[in-house]
Amino acid sequence: MSQKPPKFPSTRSVVVIREATEEDLRLMASDVIRYLPDGLFPRLGKRFVRRWMKTFLTEQYGVALVAVTVDAPRQQVGFLTGSTNQIRHVADVLNNHKWGLLLSGLMALSIRPRVLLHFLRTRARPYLRRILRRTNGPIAGANPRPATAVITSLVVLPTLRGGGIGKLLVEEFLNRAVADRAALAELVTTAGAAGAGEFYKKLGWTCVGERHSKDGTPIHTYQLSLP
């Protein structure tokens, strides 16, 4: 658990980084929808997002961290989700949660016709292939690829940004990635001022690619080599 007294405009409370719990998921899901609205999952609503984010708590390579202040330990001021081995994490999620997530997603789509039409146009075919594909574990004796750790979401309350909370969350995530022998850390963020590229550049990350998401949004991929 990490702690540091960031310099906030409104408070000088010590911030503590701890493991997220199921009790934290409701607020985390709400903040994903509010502050990271791009992509399909936020459009499926809080119930689906909460179920999806729970996989970062339950699976071996998942990471779910919450930042709180010492004087208000139940009040989240930021959080991070990701995985220390993205390939293994995705395989575990498909093995253990595929049908639950599928049912939850279909229920969400059934009451959101516009999102359903958009899904059918942009994602239905690759998602169907992934769902129907058998997920196998690593082959015995095979040389595995170096693990890549991926930050999936990072949120800090807007009124407290710039005080070091995001840096603390990222540092704790990277410590766990190194402990799990990841060779590389990676993330995707919206290009330009709407994204967090400048924040990651200050932390030493490098932009290695630009593309458009399935929704047509310009996005940048950032990477950081790990010791």
| Six token digits for residue 147 | 């693990």
Report the number of secondary-structure helices (H) and strands (E) in the chain.
7, 8
Would the pTM count as exceeding 0.85? Answer: yes
Q: Residue 11: which residues within 8 A CB-CB, separation 6 or more?
A: 69
CB neighbour list of residue 119: distance below 8 Å, 6 or more residues apart: 40, 109, 127
Contact in structure between 14 and 3 (CB atoms under 8 Å): yes
- Longest pairwise C-alpha distance within the chain: 55
**What contacts 24+ positions apart, CB below 8 Å, involve 156-162?**
156/67, 156/77, 156/78, 157/76, 157/77, 157/78, 158/35, 159/9, 159/10, 160/6, 160/8, 160/10, 160/77, 160/78
Q: Which residue type sits at 42?
A: P
187 — phi, psi (to 5°)?
Answer: -160, 165
SS3 category, 223: strand
What pLDDT score was predicted for residue 129? Answer: 83
Which tokens belong to 207?
A: 């932009």
Q: How far from each other are the two terminal CA atoms of the chain, in whole angstroms?
A: 21
Helical packing angle, 124-132 and 113-122, nearest 10°? 80
pLDDT at position 70, please?
85
pLDDT by 10s per residue, the chain, length 227 = 666 555 443 456 789 999 999 999 999 999 999 999 999 999 999 999 999 999 999 999 999 999 999 887 778 999 999 999 999 999 999 999 999 999 999 999 999 999 999 999 999 888 888 777 765 555 444 456 789 999 999 999 999 999 999 999 999 999 999 999 999 999 999 999 989 999 999 999 999 999 999 999 999 999 999 98
Cβ neighbours for 148, distance < 8 A, ≥ 6 positions apart: 85, 86, 87, 182, 183, 184, 185, 186
